[in-house]
Chain A
Amino acid sequence: SQKIEQNSEALNIQEGKTATLTCNYTNYSPAYLQWYRQDPGRGPVFLLLIRENEKEKRKERLKVTFDTTLKQSLFHITASQPADSATYLCALAFLDYGGSQGNLIFGKGTKLSVKP
């Protein structure tokens, strides 16, 4: 079965620094991969989507990369702020696992804390 690992349960950084979060997967490459933000007691909020034929996507201070050779996605937040503190989830859609219908397999998430 497919496994998704987000390598850190928690990441603490100083305000203004770049946060880099990692998402690794096993076996097959996903058709696409999404990053979400989740605050306590709230639902996941969509941030960025990257498809298997794309290397990099950007949105404001956010950047995601996708390396199908390494089976890894990196998620970067530049010039981090205390308001960026949250849990960040990666979610993958695999065509052989209902991905054609959009079913997502989630990692456990990385809790980011940005200190002032």
Chain B
Amino acid sequence: EPEVTQTPSHQVTQMGQEVILRCVPISNHLYFYWYRQILGQKVEFLVSFYNNEISEKSEIFDDQFSVERPDGSNFTLKIRSTKLEDSAMYFCASRRNKKSNQPQHFGDGTRLSIL
């Protein structure tokens, strides 16, 4: 069964450094998302992306964050200058279309550790 893949599985970065998290969504899906989960807390929405532009973003998704779909398969999340509080699991998700019977499928996440 097709799945969302994310790399790397674990990223350790010094505070203030830039980090790029990568995702390959399911191939025929049109809607893409990033979520994060701080340890012990709930999954939180960051941003949705469709037709090569951001559709919605949460308050968490400030100017330090950006997303890109540089080619036909990858979907990336960039954090420009990381902070300690950015440490979390970051999940990518994709969805086939906008119909309300279409679920989101998640990858296994990237664990981001900021030192």
Contact = CB atoms under 8 A, between A and B. Distances in A.
Instruction: Bin the interface of chain A by size.
Output: 20 to 34
Contacts of B55: 98, 101
A106 B101 CA distance: 18
Instruction: Bin the interface of chain B by size.
Output: 20 to 34
Nearest to A51: B100
Interface stretch (B13-21, B67-75, B76-84, B106-114): B106-114
B43 A42 contact: no
A46 interface: yes
B91 A102 contact: no
A36 B43 CA distance: 11
Contacts of A104: 33, 35, 43, 45, 104
Nearest to A49: B103
A103 B109 contact: no
Interface string A74-116: 0000000000000001010100001011111111110000000
A45 interface: yes
B104 A101 contact: no
A52 B68 CA distance: 33
B64 to A, nearest CB: 20
A16 interface: no
A66 interface: no
Contacts of B35: 104, 106
A45 B106 CA distance: 7
B75 to A, nearest CB: 15
B106 A102 contact: no
Q: Which 9 A-B pairs have the closest CB atoms?
A: A98-B56, A43-B106, A106-B43, A101-B55, A43-B108, A108-B42, A46-B103, A101-B48, A44-B106
